[in-house]
Structure 1
């Protein structure tokens, strides 16, 4: 009888140990699942902020850049001079300071570099050459002394689009600061072309369809044979008066040839914005600027 009791006690102990082992295993799996889920949420937030798609339209903007990307900006000479060539160098690194090695082509280029003067009277869109090991370089010049904002737009392979900015002070005589005043009429003639801009909404937080209609300034004939510029019928860059809000918008129908080119965007907040539409015809790129007020 004592032997039977001893056997029962031993069997109970074995069963209890097995049950404890299973409970400990379930707790361990649960602890691993919690941080993994947290990382997944962070990744979703990062990716969701960078590219917004509407059909074939893609858009990127300041304030949506990845926290895991850094850019080391260098200028040669260190203080650029007005109307003199200078080299702009950018080294793109991850959050640990290691060079990012691979970048996706985005409209035929690995990097788009937008340069604007503080009063938005000057605009340029250039493309630094990738030298490898995270290094980009481009030679350019600034038309006058003063402060310029530079915006680097690129997509590290396997990541979302990144938008990184810096300011540079250029030495030399400065042009008088131009007032950024909304246009009373959204029609401009530039380089022999007339562009009429219409927007179905100029309200902050609402989607707005921007439609450019291009015609020959001399004959008023619609231009229906626009050529691809960087793989699309055109590009639109938008910046707020204070330069804090930036949007780079691609067309809804990239294969359109005009005379209409449509771009969908959302103005992030109320205020005055400058819009630059870039198009190409007969081998020549022309830029049409507009200033609008968003309510």
Structure 2
């Protein structure tokens, strides 16, 4: 099931749930684990989570200049401590996001979807990368990704993604997280989070080339989109900048 999370993810607490961690820095240039927990309204670590797109927890890391995107699925210990294994991080200011649905408790928390985040510093000489200009297409691993749609801030709009390779439509997209492609967006300036929800249903082992998404981006400006799709057992990530009016 693909849920609609509320909020922009820029807070570490919402509805009595809080993202907690002792990790305020992570090392540069080498793999590192970020450890965290989610506490509930009672102040205790939550240990029961609903499965959303095949996972109980989706975890994202993004640098302040919207580079270095990572989307991983952490593991949880019996005491509710999660460990997210991240690839090498470049020096700079980062924000890490936990997306989850509690499957315990009462009231508004149970069955509700949350995206909470915390800031993390990676020490070192941080060189800022300018955000690429808005575009309707990009390339990744030999694939060409084209985005069609003109989303307006605060309004639900359809967005279509088409994938080709060497000028030919790609029709061998494999299911990934219960969809043929996973689309995440971050807002320039504050790194606000948005998950663009797929509306193309998975009907078999091969999909494409056209995929539909429900886009509801809350604020205007530039958003950096990260599209993840899988072919031949390999995960590809394509990124482009989308201007939202």
Fold match (TM-score > 0.5): yes
164, 173, 181: which is aligned to 2:125? 173
SS at match of 2:145: strand
**Aligned equivalent of 1:160:** 112
**Bigger relative contact order (CA 8 A; separation at least 6):** 2
**Aligned equivalent of 1:265:** 215
**Aligned equivalent of 2:5:** 60
**Aligned equivalent of 1:252:** 199
> Where do 5+ consecutive residues of structure 1 fail to align?
1-55
> Where do 5+ consecutive residues of structure 2 fail to align?
104-109
Task: Within 5 Å, give how 1:185-264 maps onto structure 2.
Answer: 185-199=135-149, 201-216=150-165, 218=166, 220-255=167-202, 257-264=207-214
The superposition leaves residues 111-139 of structure 1 with CA deviations (integer Å, 9 ceiling, x where unpaired) of: 11111010002211001102123221122
Q: TM-score, normalised by structure 1?
A: 0.74
Contact 2:66 2:131 in 1 (8 A): yes
Contact 1:82 1:173 in 2 (8 A): no
Contact 2:3 2:52 in 1 (8 A): no
SS at match of 1:152: strand
Contact 1:59 1:265 in 2 (8 A): no
SS at match of 1:156: coil
Residue 214 of structure 1 deviates from its aligned partner by 0.6
Q: Distance in 2 between matches of 1:279 and 1:130?
A: 25
Q: Distance in 2 between matches of 1:109 and 1:273?
A: 25
Contact 2:3 2:113 in 1 (8 A): no
Task: Within 5 Å, give how 1:16-55 maps onto structure 2.
Answer: none
Larger proportion of helix: 1
Residue 281 of structure 1 deviates from its aligned partner by 0.8
Task: Within 5 Å, give how 1:101-120 maps onto structure 2.
Answer: 101-120=47-66
Residue 63 of structure 1 deviates from its aligned partner by 4.1
Q: Distance in 1 between matches of 2:72 and 2:191?
A: 20
Contact 1:61 1:247 in 2 (8 A): no
Q: Distance in 1 between matches of 2:226 and 2:178?
A: 17
What number of residue pairs does the alignment pair up? 233
Q: Answer yes or no: is 1:289 the counterpart of 2:239.
A: yes
